[in-house]
């Protein structure tokens, strides 16, 4: 399988993760006028699995290092497979909550608050499990990102005066989704071998872990997404028949594209963790909050023109960039 040996390449892969994780939700926005987010999410889940399998049978099955995908899957023990599956189940519920929050409050609040909170929790949890990187720089970067999250919430509330109940509901759902999102990565990390080039028996390589994770995501959809379809927190009720009757090929492809984009980021991120460490790799990937905020501000125009808003947003972006820079440097000190 393809294994990277450079921290610089690992950082580049995490930057790709950041772009993917911060951009996939644009496909939901594109489909939301004609397509309930619950129906979109079925196609998204399929896209995640499709891309994970594609990378597993290509990058994960070529090269002289590690184990090929099918051989790796055949030798995996139940504990490793169960851990990666559980990661998919936890992520799925967390992500559905984030998607609901996007529906209610927009990308510019749901991503920075929900995914930003996940960044803080995820970095702490993964660093405690596998400490790699200078703790002062790493956690200083996390604090700066946390401050950026707070500024984003302040900016959104200033721009949405008169819609307090909707804003509060969106923020609360984002927080709940973010807390769950902060823990899913640890389950996936726990399923993987510590040395990708010379993998130990029983555990998974990153390519196999990505496929098992995606399977857990899709399978748990029959529980989590079914609930949101028939008991919606936001929007109208959706049914399974709606998926087949109301969706055309274009809508299905948009959803699958969203899953493919997110899945590319996930697989690249866990491949990069071999050089960067789980805490740094996850932390950089969740810099997606910055990308999503940029989409929300400049493309979807989700922020208004309240007095002082420009200064708050500028400070927010600067804090994000400084925080991400410190997270990167923490591995070099």
Both tokens of 243, joined, read 């998926």
Question: Cα(210)–Cα(241) distance, rounded to whole angstroms?
Answer: 30
Integer Cα distance of 36 and 309 in angstroms: 32
pLDDT confidence tier of residue 305, bands split at 50, 70 and 90: low
For residue 28, the number of C-alpha atoms closer than 13 Å in the C-beta half-sphere is 31
- pLDDT tens digit sequence for 49-75: 999 999 999 999 998 899 999 999 999
pLDDT band at residue 189 under the 50/70/90 scheme: very high
Task: Tell me what pLDDT residue 302 has.
Answer: 66
Q: How far is CA 155 from CA 76, 115, 121, 314, 317, in A?
A: 47, 17, 23, 10, 12
Count Cα atoms within 13 angstroms, Cβ side, for 320. Answer: 30
Tell me the mean pLDDT in the region 211-231.
96
Q: Would the pLDDT of 277 be above 90? A: yes
Domain residue ranges of the chain, discontinuous segments joined by +: 7-329
Q: Which residues face 192 on adjacent strands?
A: 204
pLDDT at position 291? 84
Tell me: pLDDT of 163 over 70: no
pLDDT at residue 20, as a whole number: 94
- 132-136, 187-191, 301-305: the lowest-pLDDT one: 301-305
Question: CA distances (Å), 181 to each of 116, 117, 122, 169, in order?
Answer: 10, 8, 8, 18
Q: Tokens 């929050």, residue? A: 101
* Verdict on whether the full-model pTM lies above 0.85: yes
Quote the pLDDT of residue 320: 86
* Residue that the structure tokens 């969203």 belong to: 258
Q: How far is CA 322 from the centre of its chain?
A: 21
Reported as a pLDDT band with limits 50, 70 and 90, residue 165 is low
- State the chain's maximal CA–CA distance in angstroms: 61
Residue 102's alpha-carbon distances to 89, 137, 169, 329, in angstroms, are 20, 31, 11, 32
> How much is the pLDDT for 306?
61
Helices (H), 193-299: 206-230, 240-245, 249-276, 278-285, 288-294
Mean pLDDT throughout 73-93? Answer: 97
Question: b/e per residue, 52-83, with b = 16+ CB within 10 A?
Answer: bbbbbeebbbeeeebbbbeebbeebeeebbeb
Residues found in the chain:
333
Average pLDDT of the residues of the chain: 89
């Amino acid at each position: 399988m393809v294994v990277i040996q450079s921290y610089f390449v690992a950082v580049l892969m995490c930057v790709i993760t950041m772009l993917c994780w911060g951009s996939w939700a644009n496909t939901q926005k594109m489909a939301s006028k004609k397509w309930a987010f619950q129906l979109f999410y079925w196609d998204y889940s399929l896209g995640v699995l499709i891309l994970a399998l594609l990378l597993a049978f290509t990058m994960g099955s070529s090269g002289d290092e590690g184990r090929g995908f099918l051989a790796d899957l055949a030798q995996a023990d139940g504990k490793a497979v169960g851990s990666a599956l559980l990661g998919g189940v936890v992520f799925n519920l967390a992500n559905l909550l984030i998607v609901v929050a996007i529906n209610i409050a927009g990308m510019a609040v749901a991503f920075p608050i929900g995914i930003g909170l996940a960044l803080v929790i995820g970095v702490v949890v993964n660093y405690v499990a596998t400490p790699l990187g200078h703790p002062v720089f790493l956690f200083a970067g996390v604090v700066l990102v946390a401050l950026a999250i707070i500024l984003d919430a302040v900016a959104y509330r200033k721009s949405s005066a008169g819609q307090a109940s909707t804003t509060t509901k969106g923020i609360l759902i984002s927080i709940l989704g973010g807390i769950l999102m902060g823990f899913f990565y640890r389950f996936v990390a726990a399923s993987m071998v510590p040395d990708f080039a010379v993998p130990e028996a029983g555990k998974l390589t990153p390519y196999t872990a990505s496929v098992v994770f995606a399977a857990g995501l899709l399978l748990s959809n029959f529980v989590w997404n079914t609930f949101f379809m028939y008991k919606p927190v936001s929007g109208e009720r959706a049914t399974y028949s709606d998926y087949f009757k109301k969706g055309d090929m274009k809508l299905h492809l948009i959803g699958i594209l969203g899953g493919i984009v997110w899945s590319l980021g996930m697989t690249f991120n866990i491949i990069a963790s071999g050089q960067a460490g789980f805490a740094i790799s996850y932390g950089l990937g969740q810099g997606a909050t910055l990308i999503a905020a940029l989409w929300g501000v400049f493309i979807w125009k989700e922020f208004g023109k309240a007095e002082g808003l420009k200064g708050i947003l500028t400070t927010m972006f600067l804090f994000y960039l400084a925080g991400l820079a410190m997270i990167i440097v923490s591995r070099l000190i």
